[in-house]
């Protein structure tokens, strides 16, 4: 009897094999003449060469489906195992950007978010401006993950200036990463929604996904990358110019910010405000302004934004 070992990489065996090894059980029913033994991330299979070839082919199809849609259910497994051998496709929707963790559908939910998607298809640089909760960062991260999955880019780079409400990094405990992680948390949160945890960890370890403070961008040329600058209202003139000129070949840049939440010293001009004026007429650079109609958080957030808008215009 022949033996083969197949190792699952960059996916969670628990998620792929299912509750009580339900995926394995379906495979056993479809391949009754093959002995299947699961140990951690490895599968040992025993049987005749022709059957092992067929088993491995179907398993690769299941893995490809799981990698794309981040889920496997009984019906999908059945269709793949009994199909003609072509890739199983899930129902599509033009608004779906990516299939997130556990098969969650990540898509643009408002008209302006859909405009963000459309603008990124036609431009290499996009400024997305609006108050908190309007989905600027989330939509941008979804576009980046989509580009990575579809191999339009080789890496995702997420950055933001380490300036928050007057806090000083020097007073925070821990090493540099521990000091900076709280500032990057919104980016981590969005990525966890869209990429299974083990694959996300692997991407970060390999540098496929990089999350770093804006200062770390200096001197780099960012080729074949989808780059997101978050909280851009807290950049200075020099920081914004430095960031924008990092753009390399086959790169997409999204710059997110809320001019109403600037944490720079009072006399410091925001690099975001400057760039919106300076670059507004350049072909290939688009601007989108989101507002309280795009808020997808708690219903009170819309009312809070409207209330503050009234104060700020008085």
Written as one string, the DSSP assignment of 29-74 is HH-TTSEEEEETTEEEEEE-HHHHHHHHHHHHHHHHHHHHHS---H
User: What confidence score (pLDDT) does residue 14 get?
Assistant: 81
Does residue 37 belong to any structural domain of this protein? yes
Does residue 161 belong to any structural domain of this protein? yes
Q: Are residues 173 and 297 in the same domain?
A: yes
Q: Are residues 68 and 206 in the same domain?
A: no
Does residue 231 belong to any structural domain of this protein? yes
Q: Are residues 113 and 163 in the same domain?
A: yes
pTM, entire model: 0.70
| Residues whose CB falls within 8 Å of the CB of residue 54, separated by 6 or more in sequence, listed in order | 31
Range of the domain at 34: 2-82
Q: Are residues 44 and 151 in the same domain?
A: no
The tens place of each residue's pLDDT in the chain, 314 residues long, gives 788 998 887 777 888 888 888 889 889 999 999 999 988 888 899 999 899 999 999 998 888 888 777 778 787 788 888 876 655 554 445 568 888 776 678 888 888 999 999 999 999 999 999 988 888 999 999 999 999 998 999 999 999 887 654 445 555 556 555 666 777 788 888 999 898 888 888 999 999 999 888 888 988 999 999 999 999 999 999 999 999 999 999 999 999 999 888 888 888 889 999 999 999 999 999 999 998 788 766 667 767 777 877 675 54
Q: Are residues 9 and 110 in the same domain?
A: no
The full 3-state SS of 74-87, as one line of letters, equals HHHHHHHHHCCCCC
Q: Are residues 211 and 258 in the same domain?
A: yes
Nearest to 227 by CA among 304, 158, 174, 136: 158
- The structural domain count of the chain equals 2
Q: Are residues 78 and 217 in the same domain?
A: no
Q: Are residues 76 and 103 in the same domain?
A: no
Among residues 82, 117, 144, which one ends one of the domains?
82
CATH number, domain at 50?
Answer: 3.30.1370.10
Q: What is d(CA 196, CA 258) in angstroms, rounded to the nearest whole number?
A: 29
Nearest to 157 by CA among 254, 67, 270: 254
Q: What is d(CA 126, CA 228) in angstroms, rounded to the nearest whole number?
A: 10
* Residue at token pair 């919106």: 276
Q: Are residues 221 and 274 in the same domain?
A: yes
Q: Is 241 exposed, middle or buried (0-12, 13-18, 19+ CB in 10 A)?
A: middle
């Amino acid at each position: 009897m022949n033996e083969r070992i197949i190792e699952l990489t960059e996916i969670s065996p628990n998620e792929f094999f299912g509750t009580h090894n339900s995926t394995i059980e379906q495979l056993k029913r479809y391949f009754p003449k093959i002995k299947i033994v699961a140990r951690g991330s490895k599968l040992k299979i025993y049987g005749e060469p022709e059957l092992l070839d067929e088993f491995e082919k179907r398993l690769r199809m299941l893995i490809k489906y799981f990698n794309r849609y981040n889920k496997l259910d009984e019906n999908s497994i059945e269709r793949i195992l009994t199909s003609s051998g072509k890739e199983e496709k899930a129902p599509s929707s033009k608004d779906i950007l990516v299939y997130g963790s556990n098969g969650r559908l990540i898509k643009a939910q408002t008209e302006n978010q859909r405009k963000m998607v459309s603008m990124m298809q036609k431009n290499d640089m996009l400024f997305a401006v609006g108050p908190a909760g309007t989905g600027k960062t989330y939509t941008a991260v979804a576009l980046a993950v989509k580009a990575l999955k579809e191999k339009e880019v080789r890496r995702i780079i997420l950055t933001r200036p380490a300036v928050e409400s007057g806090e000083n990094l020097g007073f925070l405990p821990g090493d540099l990463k521990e000091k900076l992680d709280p500032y990057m948390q919104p980016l981590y949160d969005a990525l966890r929604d869209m990429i299974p945890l083990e694959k996300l960890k692997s991407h970060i370890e390999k540098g496929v996904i990089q999350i770093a403070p804006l200062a770390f961008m200096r001197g780099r040329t960012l080729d074949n990358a989808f780059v997101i600058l978050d909280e851009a209202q807290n950049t200075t003139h020099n920081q914004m110019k430095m960031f924008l000129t990092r753009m390399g070949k086959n790169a997409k840049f999204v710059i997110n910010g809320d001019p109403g939440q600037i944490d720079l010293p009072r006399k410091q001009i925001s690099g975001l405000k400057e760039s919106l004026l300076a670059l507004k007429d350049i072909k290939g650079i688009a601007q989108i302004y989101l507002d309280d109609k795009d808020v997808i958080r708690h219903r009170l957030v819309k009312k809070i934004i409207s209330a503050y808008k009234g104060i700020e215009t008085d």
